[in-house]
Structure 1
Amino acid sequence: MPRPRRVASIPASPRRRVRGRHGRGLRSSVTGPYLPPLRTRYDEFDLAVAAAANLLRDLIPELDGVVFEVAQAPAEAVHGDHIDRWHVSHDERRIVFYRLPIIRFLRKEEGEEIDERFVVESCVFRAVADLLGRDPWDLAPGRYRGF
């Protein structure tokens, strides 16, 4: 049996108190006003791209002037057989990484997740290799010795 709806009348006043759920008022940030905000998933992704890009810039002098950017998702991501995870512009010497397609495909099998930072680094290596026309394993040959 459906319940009758109650309509509360709100008095019209020029200064109305703003309340959140359950009448408690608006929520404050988790860290409070005196602490810096916590890192978000967006920040972690940006840091992983920047760290891998800086490593490659130190190793490969040809990357001077290459711009690394991060975007949420491409306008047209699905191309029948693959989904774009990055875009390399050879003329502008620019690489754009798409965060959502990279992060969404971290899960390989049920319950198995790959380390996010490892996936982001591998995408940066493959995109730079595409820009330079090389094999990704040739970019930093000493980095993977012993694995």
Structure 2
Amino acid sequence: MRRRTAQPARRPTRHGRHGRDDRSPVVRPPLPPLETRAERFDLSVGTAAEFLRSAWPELRDVHFEVGAMPPASDDAGIPRWTVLPDERRIILYRLPIERLSHLHRNDDLHRRVMIEGCVFRAAAEYLGRDPWDLGPDRFHF
């Protein structure tokens, strides 16, 4: 007669609740967001800036930058962008544009149009033109 030695019960490598085999956990770890609000803002600014650079040779050497907040506010309120023609820079401030602009519909499309509108107005200020002159074919269907 063979005598069995007591061995501790081994748990399977994959087990779910209550030690059952081949079950996945109920709650998985949270996944990181696919893209953040800041990344979407950067993408909108970048695509609008590339369109303007391709349409206007005067803007090819201009750097479009994104800043979080302007250094200080003026009497007219908090600026949405700063145009520095001597340094060939346009700085767009993400937080004032996102939080202080009023959208009639709060969705991704309207937010993107609002951001692109700010890029166009800042570029128009840099060029000394009307924003509607920067992309006339873009707005006529």
TM-score normalised by length of structure 2: 0.72
- Paired positions, count: 112
The match for 2:106 is 113
CA distance change for structure 1 residues 65 and 72 in 2, over 3 Å: closer, same or farther?
Answer: same
SS state of the match for residue 137, structure 2?
coil
CA distance in 2, matches of 1:29, 1:89: 43
Greater CA radius of gyration, 1 or 2?
2
Deviation at 1:62, TM superposition (A): 1.1
* Deviations, residues 11-57 of structure 1 (Å, cap 9, x unaligned): xxxxxxxxxxxxxxxxx6615xxxxx621111000000000000111
Q: Contact (CA 8 Å) 1:106, 1:116: kept in 2 or not? A: no
Corresponding residue number in structure 2 for 1:95: 90
Provide Cα deviations, 1:93-119, integer angstroms capped at 9, x if missing partner: 10000000000023357xx53711011
Q: Is 1:125 aligned to 2:120, yes or no?
A: yes
Identify, as 1 or 2, the structure richer in helix.
2
Which consecutive residues of structure 2, in runs of 5 or more, have no partner in the other structure? Answer: 1-28
Question: Which sections of structure 1, spanning at least 5 residues, go unmatched?
Answer: 1-27, 32-36
Q: Which residue of 1 aligns with 2:60?
A: 64
Give the partner amino acid of 1:99: R
Report the secondary structure of 1:97's partner residue: strand
Alignment deviations for residues 58-116 of structure 1 (CA, whole Å, 9 cap, x no partner): 1111111100100100110x32232200000010110000000000023357xx53711
Q: What residue in structure 1 maps to residue 9 of structure 2?
A: none
> Normalising by the residue count of structure 1, what TM-score does the alignment of the two structures yield?
0.69
3-state SS in 1 of match to 2:31:
coil
Q: What does 1:1-147 align with in structure 2 at a 5 Å threshold? A: 30-31=31-32, 38-76=34-72, 78-108=73-103, 112-113=105-106, 115-146=110-141
